[in-house]
Structure 1
Amino acid sequence: MPTDLPSLDLLRSLSDRHVLAAVAAAGRLTRAGAATTTGLSKPTVSQSVARLLDLGVLVEGERTAGGRGRAGTYLTVNDAAGCALAVQAGPEGVVGEVLALDGRILATRRRALHAPVTPGSLGRALTAVCRALTEDSPGPVRAAAVSVADPVDRRTGRVVELPESPFLVGELDPVGLLADVLPVRPVVDNDVSWALLAERTEGTAQGVDDVLHLYLDEGMGAAMWAGGRPLHGARGLAGEIAYSRTFVRDRTSRTTRSGTLMECVAALGYLTDGAKSIDVASLLEDLDRGTGQARTLAGAVAEVALAQAYLLDPELVVLSGRWGRHTGIVEAVTTVLGDAGGVATTVAVAQVTDDAPLTGARIFALGELLATWSAEPGGVPR
């Protein structure tokens, strides 16, 4: 007799998840509407609804009016059954949200940071924001996603300090810091990785399985998806393009040498005085004017993009960040990739630009929240 058939409990869990997801996506839905949306039979939907009502995940609200047949009642998610947190820690500070299952933002908390950002100052801000969010939540926190503007060790969740990091001075352990604050282990990842998840869900990379995302702003980074899944590397350090080799040329000399992309930025005079962050305003002004040093940097970025394209073979290259989206950068990358033999990729500008890392963390946290009421693993790869 075959033994690999799905169990009745798993089938029930799958139908419950589909019904719950349909109600969450719609905001409110009748049983008949849930059957239409999910394609499940009305008896199956009724049984799932009964289980979800017993769990307190769904609640019945107002009755429907008009239409044919018996009046029904609208189903909505119950915020008191559980919520998720999405948190972003970046140069401007820490911002966090309490999320209902249907995507509503129930509360927002912010805490400012001042450069240089140390593990102590960031840790205190992150802890304070998350503690306040748990107090704001109308129900238990069942999932949490944290975005940090630095590489994250995938094995431990620790933030890794690299020599050219423009944000955090030192290492940070968000998972350890939040162990006594949150009832669940937060999923911590790099901000560019979360931004690419947002771009694949809501932006120009929807439906594309192989994507290279280059972020160029005060800092520089990259994120990749290969075969429909994120590519992080053994420790989460994949995508640190500031250390990629390219050509370096001083702004006062035509001599070219090999060096890192960050060395190129420094040699051209685009680092903020006394800091490791990029002077975005000055660089944008030079890109607008088409100065020689700005064109040199655009060429260096294009060479890095080319090397990554040969390594990863992406279907799409997405450019984001304030100067990454500039026409001068986009044209340089497009030209170099277009002239390269064997490279067949499209270059596009990111569409999700406002709080993209927080948007990605929000998408993931909601997926994890939905999965807490299902036997299935979370539907969003991480």
Structure 2
Amino acid sequence: MLSILPPRSTSAERARSHNRRLVLGHVHATGEIGRAELSRACGLTIQAVSNIIAELEQEGLIRETGRRSTGRGLPATLYGINPGGACALGVEVRPDALLAALLDLNGGAIFTTRRALNDAHPTAVTQELRALREELKSAHPDVVSRLLGAGVVMPGPFGATGLSGTASDLPGWQETDARQVFAEALGVPIDLDNDANAAAMAERVKGVAQGLNDYAYLYFGTGVGLGLVSGGRRVAGAFGNAGEIGHLRVQTPDGSRALEELASRLSLQHRLAGRGHGTINFDRLSALDAAGDAILEEWIATAASALGQAVHVIENLFDPETVILGGALPERIVDRLISRVPLPDGSVSNRPDRVRARLLRGDCGRLTATLGAAALILDRAFSPQLGALD
């Protein structure tokens, strides 16, 4: 397994690891860049940059992409990311399914799969994870040998090692060390996070948040989650629970309710089931939308009103460049929600000089949290850690 990520044991080694990530991150961000530009951007000497480039090139993480003439002297050699030089695995655990995606260094999908779960308890999930590992080793042996790690996402909230005692979407995990379970089953380092944070990172790697450093992502999963990115880094909180916005109380004509009771996919499924519809999956929701189903129309109106109150809180607390909506709902339904959300005038985001809409639909589709789980690993590979030099 390739090693970009593990912590170093001495100050010099930590500084070296930090500088490698710094250089790799700039190469990734620019597409292609020369040594002199890297030296200026990273604040490193030309010799230090040359040494790091030689290492990264030998390891297959970057490659020469061409030459650029500056008008005097020899043309500068340009370097870019080698997409196949390494990969990251993303795993999403839902109450009814296990989803996985393998991404190359540029965020391109090498492999995706969805495995139905009749039982989401740790033992059953562990069996599926081991089967997934063997499938990957068989189908992509050369790529998997260069695996950086695995990002795993679950619906929160979290405790110190996994789901907290108040989490109810995945029964059986509350007293389990989830990190250890996933690390042992997959045999790689694990980055554990909630689905909303992962979805936010997916949009940064391959979606509408490319180039944005401060934004929020409202994720429609079993509940409603909020992924926050500030200064280009995701905001996790002490135990990974920042953004548990589904518990936010919003006002309705009948009193206050939790946001996720009104605007989650599960709330929509319950409303449809209570009015005679059977099992509701993604494709069935699309069909109901196309047919102009009256119950779906009612839910959109209710959810949009509740989301307007949530957006008001998000904008005034975090001052994001935009709020992105997406997740396990068909894109047309998300678009219709966005068009119906009443955007408050009394918000710091209500400015005449805006360069993008206050609300955007995410581009990564129904696999956004799965792709985001792998993006967590890529983000760590390309981003120097602030505490790395302590």
Would the TM-score normalized by the shorter structure come out above 0.5?
yes
| CA distance in 1 between partners of 2:152 and 2:84 (Å) | 22
Q: What secondary structure sits across from 2:372 in the alignment?
A: helix
Which residue is 1:223 aligned to? Answer: 227
Q: CA deviation at 1:85?
A: 2.6
Indicate yes or no: 2:123 matched with 1:120: yes
130, 136, 159: which is aligned to 1:133?
136
Q: Summarize deviations over 1:191-246 as a string: whole Å, max 9, x none.
A: 21111122244444455554332223554222223565433344333433443323
| CA distance in 2 between partners of 1:197 and 1:142 (Å) | 17
| CA distance in 2 between partners of 1:64 and 1:291 (Å) | 54
Which residue is 1:162 aligned to? Answer: 167
Q: CA deviation at 1:184?
A: 4.0
Which residue is 2:158 aligned to? Answer: 153
| CA distance in 2 between partners of 1:145 and 1:23 (Å) | 23
Bigger CA radius of gyration: 1
8 Å CA contact 2:219–2:226 kept in 1: the answer is yes
Q: Which amino acid aligns with 2:323?
A: V
| CA distance in 2 between partners of 1:343 and 1:186 (Å) | 38
Which residue is 2:271 aligned to? Answer: 269
Decide whether aligned partners of structure 1 residues 310 and 181 sit closer, same or farther in structure 2, where only a CA change above 3 A counts: same
8 Å CA contact 2:223–2:260 kept in 1: the answer is no
Q: What secondary structure sits across from 1:232 in the alignment?
A: coil
Which residue is 1:97 aligned to? Answer: 102
Which residue is 1:319 aligned to? Answer: 325
| CA distance in 1 between partners of 2:183 and 2:316 (Å) | 41
| CA distance in 2 between partners of 1:61 and 1:267 (Å) | 49
Which residue is 1:299 aligned to? Answer: 305
337, 340, 344: which is aligned to 1:329?
337
87, 90, 94: which is aligned to 1:86?
90
Of 41-50 and 219-228, deviating more is 41-50
Q: What secondary structure sits across from 1:145 in the alignment?
A: strand
Gaps of 5+ in 1: 1-6, 250-255
**C-alpha root-mean-square deviation of aligned residues, in Å?**
4.9
| CA distance in 2 between partners of 1:219 and 1:344 (Å) | 25
Indicate yes or no: 2:211 matched with 1:186: no
Decide whether aligned partners of structure 1 residues 227 and 191 sit closer, same or farther in structure 2, where only a CA change above 3 A counts: same
Indicate yes or no: 2:256 matched with 1:244: no
Of 90-99 and 79-88, deviating more is 79-88
8 Å CA contact 1:96–1:129 kept in 2: the answer is no
Q: Which amino acid aligns with 1:344?
A: S
Q: Summarize deviations over 1:127-170 as a string: whole Å, max 9, x none.
A: 3223543564533544321223x11526314476634x3xx343
What is the identity percentage for the equivalent residue pairs of Structure 1 and Structure 2?
25
Gaps of 5+ in 2: 1-10, 351-356
8 Å CA contact 1:94–1:110 kept in 2: the answer is yes
Q: What secondary structure sits across from 1:237 in the alignment?
A: coil
| CA distance in 1 between partners of 2:270 and 2:192 (Å) | 34
Q: CA deviation at 1:356?
A: 2.0
Indicate yes or no: 2:201 matched with 1:197: yes
| CA distance in 2 between partners of 1:24 and 1:315 (Å) | 23
| CA distance in 1 between partners of 2:307 and 2:14 (Å) | 49
Q: Summarize deviations over 1:107-128 as a string: whole Å, max 9, x none.
A: 5363511456444333322332
Decide whether aligned partners of structure 1 residues 134 and 77 sit closer, same or farther in structure 2, where only a CA change above 3 A counts: farther
8 Å CA contact 1:157–1:187 kept in 2: the answer is no
| Larger RCO (alpha carbons 8 Å, 6+ apart) | 2
Alignment length, in residue pairs? 349
